[in-house]
Amino acid sequence: MSKNKFSVNGSFKDSVNTVKFLTERMHFVNSAEAVLPTRTDDFGVNKVAKSLHPKEQKLVISKIEKHSDIATSYFFKSETAPIAYFKAGQYLTFKFEIGNAVVTRSYSIASSPASALAGEYQITVKRINDGFVSDYILDNWSVGDEVTAYAPEGNMTYCPLRDADNIVAIAGGSGITPFLSLARAISQGDENCNLTLLYGCRTSDEILFKEELDSLCEKNDKINVVYVLSDSDEKGYEKGFVGADIIKKYAPEGNYSVFVCGPGGLYKFLETELPKLGIERKYIRFEVFSSGKKVIDAKDFSITVINRGKETVIKAGNNETVLCALERAGIEVPARCHTGECGFCRSKLISGKVYIPEGEDKRRVADMQFNFIHPCCCYPESDLVIRIN
């Protein structure tokens, strides 16, 4: 049927045209196959959905770039299928088998969406004190290794219907990666917002991607980058922390959205700084994180896990999330964000009590009423019985 075959003029003709239109539509309905097709994989829409949301992606490490003793970028390609597209600001979740543990961890994608179309992802991993998975990656991943990742996820992306056209992005340490991706996307014409990037580090040596950020800033009016050093006073850098004063100094006139990604301390600091600016809450977006639980009296509990009808009993400390205990015991849980947001790890709490840090309970109301939990942000406070998957 041609697109503009029937015009609508708000007259008697409209009724006539509607009848014609319905008749023609019934002709198509009646001439369609009477039996529903059994193979739907070849439908265009299903192919697109599958390529955007693959269950798993087998990726091969194609390049490793060391930035410093503690930060390294990994580049991935797929040798079997095109890699899934993403929006700047999203993350990739990787699956690891370390000893007996089956673990998942998420890393923001540093490359631009355009590079995904060209078949490549980039993530940057920073060594952290007692970082189980990050240290494993830095010590073990080599070029040519195959790794398993899920489809890109995450909501800290620019959305013109929701966000202001001006984004003030506040990055701390390796939290720069989603904003590097956004800056790259703006410079490649794939995002149409203005970016003021306030990048906080302790010293100038810790700044990642400085050369590229400076070049993106120099070549594009839509991108402005300011470095803020907390521990050293150097020419050409702001001194201090990215708080209300620095934001006020560099934020554009009028409305702006604030995006934040960095360590837990940065979020805590901004919780008291951002209200000073009078920004509407809807314009503030934090990359989600978990603040953890302060344990005074460490205790061990048992968790009875029912997984597809099979029961396993594992040990769990009250200082670790239920998900950590499950992963450590080698029980595979479909987890992605590790912050309670995505809902992938949703499980039924059959009995027992869990602690959920304040402000981190992102369950649906119905899930709360029917005792479903997100094990990634729950800490055991008694012996538990849970059903996963």
The answer to whether residue 345 forms part of the interface with ligand FES (CB under 6 A) is yes
Name which of 184 and 374 has its Cβ closer to ligand FES. 374
- R_g of the chain, CA atoms, integer Å: 25
CA torsion, ordered 275, 263, 85, 41, to nearest 10 deg: -100
Among 246, 266, 337, 388, binds ligand FES (CB under 6 A): 337
- Least distance (Å) between residue 356 CB and ligand FES: 11
- Least distance (Å) between residue 302 CB and ligand FES: 21
DSSP labels for 151-181?
--B-S-S--TTTS-SEEEEEEEGGGGHHHHH
- Least distance (Å) between residue 339 CB and ligand FES: 6
Specify burial of residue 209 (Cβ count, 10 A radius: 0-12, 13-18, 19+).
Answer: buried
Query: How many other CB atoms are there within 10 angstroms of residue 127's CB atom?
Result: 16
Taking every pair of Cα atoms in the chain, the longest distance, rounded to a whole number of angstroms, is 79
- Least distance (Å) between residue 92 CB and ligand FES: 14
CA 76 and chain centroid, separation: 18
Distance CA 31, CA 19 (A): 18
The stretch among 4-12, 48-56, 241-249, 343-351 that binds ligand FES (CB under 6 A) is 343-351
Distance CA 210, CA 197 (A): 12
Contact 316, 293 (CB under 8 A): no
The answer to whether residue 344 forms part of the interface with ligand FES (CB under 6 A) is yes
* Residues with Cβ within 8 Å of residue 40, at least 6 apart in sequence: 46
The answer to whether residue 340 forms part of the interface with ligand FES (CB under 6 A) is yes
Name which of 201 and 342 has its Cβ closer to ligand FES. 342
The answer to whether residue 273 forms part of the interface with ligand FES (CB under 6 A) is no
* Residues with Cβ within 8 Å of residue 263, at least 6 apart in sequence: 172, 173, 175
- Least distance (Å) between residue 200 CB and ligand FES: 27
The answer to whether residue 119 forms part of the interface with ligand FES (CB under 6 A) is no
Q: What is the DSSP letter of 276?
A: G
Between 278 and 317, how does the x/- string for binding to ligand FES read (CB under 6 A)?
Answer: ----------------------------------------
Among 343, 371, 381, 387, binds ligand FES (CB under 6 A): 343
The answer to whether residue 171 forms part of the interface with ligand FES (CB under 6 A) is no
Contact 362, 383 (CB under 8 A): no
Between 317 and 336, how does the x/- string for binding to ligand FES read (CB under 6 A)?
Answer: ------------------xx
Name which of 167 and 373 has its Cβ closer to ligand FES. 373
- Least distance (Å) between residue 360 CB and ligand FES: 10
**Which residue's structure tokens are 């080599």?**
142
Name which of 252 and 343 has its Cβ closer to ligand FES. 343
Between 364 and 383, how does the x/- string for binding to ligand FES read (CB under 6 A)?
Answer: ----------x-x-------
Beta strands at 238-239 and 223-229: parallel, antiparallel or unpaired: parallel
Name which of 21 and 344 has its Cβ closer to ligand FES. 344
Q: How many residues bind ligand FES (CB under 6 A)?
A: 12
Phi-psi group of 100: left, alpha or beta (phi > 0 → left; psi -120 to 50 → alpha; rest → beta): alpha
- Least distance (Å) between residue 375 CB and ligand FES: 7
Residue 147 has φ and ψ, to the nearest 5°, of -125, 160
The answer to whether residue 154 forms part of the interface with ligand FES (CB under 6 A) is no
Binding site for ligand FES (CB under 6 A): 335-338, 340-345, 374, 376
